[in-house]
Amino acid sequence: MTGQIEPIARMAQQLSRLPGIGSKSALRLAYHIVSLPQEQVRELAAAIWQGRKDVKLCPVCGNYTVEAPCPICADESRHNGVLCVVREPRDVAAIERMRDFKGGYHVLHGTLSPMEGVGPDDIRIRELVQRVQDEHIREVILATNPDIEGEATAAYIARLLKPMGVLVTRIAHGLPVGGDLEYTDEVTLAKAIEGRREM
Amino acid sequence: MTGQIEPIARMAQQLSRLPGIGSKSALRLAYHIVSLPQEQVRELAAAIWQGRKDVKLCPVCGNYTVEAPCPICADESRHNGVLCVVREPRDVAAIERMRDFKGGYHVLHGTLSPMEGVGPDDIRIRELVQRVQDEHIREVILATNPDIEGEATAAYIARLLKPMGVLVTRIAHGLPVGGDLEYTDEVTLAKAIEGRREM
């Protein structure tokens, strides 16, 4: 950031800490922000700071929320004995967009990853076990990503919960709707055939 | 931004107003920012707001600065009768990085563009003429970009300043250092040959 005046260099340095923003884009953004009306920049900075300050984790499900517990956990009609387990808050938003799932959530805030030193105590697995005991849960849907860490985490949780007498299910793997069989990788294809259903 | 809680939706909406940040990246950024330590987000928001507030335009050259006039305009040793005219503050930073140019600057804050309704009165041309009169300028180097609007702006300013008895020059067009002749477009190549110098 040589050759820049200090306020612009500092702004660019802070922006470059965000994911996907390299030092060149950060500098371009900083120059753009400096050229904006003060009022617009005030709104941007306030939305960033206020947003971070207002958002907390729901003490029950671990999703981002303004109130505690979050609106979903506070909604009695969603206490139907079904919990959907996801890796992060963004996944809750994705499933909610579908407007189809009527149970509760449990956000793990990560997946098991021996490579990165993330063990069972580092994600919200103990809290999940506690909820299954306390909340009369009949079914736990494991909706972690279909990648190595997501599968390993799902397998670990399944082993833990099954002895408790709860139904543990995994979201289906298969061809995405609108996908093309010809261009589907073999693993997905194998999963799709393995998971076939009678019509 | 459906399915997001309000503080995250608002943050994403503000971020998506920045250039090069679409609504999906804005949402990803907002989720990332919410997951950061409060202290780091406070620093980010402060750098953005404080940066915008601290930076003003130098009343002399139009470059971004904290003090008025800017350090370059305040530096007597750079009042050598040579002004380099650029489109925007970023261009000053680029030339300063070269550490080679010892004169002053004049930032136009735009280029003439009939298509977008930018005329001579919309950029800092009148201020330039005034400075040439007041500051005993011997040479004006036109360093606008080598594109249609940059060339048109340079030509317009040259026509305006020449009758005032000042030397008006244009930065050289040619092959970039390390460039490959074979892959150079014809216009650049023609300019490079036209601008050839004795060795």
Question: Is the model more confident about B181 or about B32?
Answer: B32
pTM for this structure?
0.82
CATH number listed for the domain at residues B77-177: 3.40.1360.10
Query: How buried is residue B35: exposed, middle or buried, by Cβ count under 10 Å (0-12/13-18/19+)?
Result: middle
Q: Is the dihedral of CA A59, A61, A65, A66 positive or negative?
A: negative
Mean pLDDT by 10 residues, chain A (199 residues): 82 96 95 96 97 96 95 95 94 87 95 93 97 94 90 95 94 81 80 77
For residue B9 the two structure tokens come to: 């939706």
Q: What separation in angstroms does the CA of A91 have from each of A63, A167, B12?
A: 10, 22, 16
Interface mutation target, options B1, B28, B48, B87, chain A, most CBs of A under 10 Å: B48
**Scanning every residue of chain B, which has its alpha carbon at the shortest distance from the alpha carbon of A50?**
B7
Which residue is it, tokens 């494991």? A142
Is B90 within 8 Å of A31 when comparing Cβ atoms?
yes
A77 touches chain B (CB under 8 A): no
CATH number 1.10.8.420 is the correct assignment for the domain at A6-54: yes
Helix (H, G, I), strand (E, B) or coil at A128: helix
Is B89 within 8 Å of A3 when comparing Cβ atoms?
no
Q: Is the complex ipTM more than 0.90?
A: no
Nearest-neighbour CA in chain A from B14: distance (Å): 5
pLDDT at B2: 56
Nearest-neighbour CA in chain B from A163: distance (Å): 34
Residues 87-106 of B with CB under 8 A from A: 88-90, 93-94, 96-97
**Residue B69 preceded by cis peptide, ω within 30:** yes
> How do residues B91-146 score in pLDDT, each as one tens digit?
999 888 888 889 999 999 999 998 999 999 999 999 999 999 999 999 999 999 88
Residues A195, B18: Cα–Cα separation, whole Å: 44
pLDDT at B53: 96
Q: Who among A8, A38, A49 is closest to B53 (CB)?
A: A38
Question: Is the model more confident about B29 or about B186?
Answer: B29
> How do residues B145-196 score in pLDDT, each as one tens digit?
888 899 999 999 999 999 999 999 998 888 787 778 777 788 888 887 878 7
Check pLDDT > 50 for residue B1: no
**Scanning every residue of chain B, which has its alpha carbon at the shortest distance from the alpha carbon of A34?**
B52
Find the farthest-apart pair of alpha carbons in chain B and give their distance in angstroms, rounded: 68
Number of CB pairs, chain A paired with chain B, less than 8 A apart: 148
**Scanning every residue of chain B, which has its alpha carbon at the shortest distance from the alpha carbon of A94?**
B3
Domain ranges of chain A: 6-54, 77-177
A23 touches chain B (CB under 8 A): no
Query: How buried is residue A182: exposed, middle or buried, by Cβ count under 10 Å (0-12/13-18/19+)?
Result: exposed
Strand ranges in B60-199 using DSSP code E only, listed in sequence order: 64-65, 82-86, 104-107, 139-142, 167-170
Is B46 within 8 Å of A45 when comparing Cβ atoms?
yes
Residues of A whose CB is below 8 A from B28: 19-20, 90
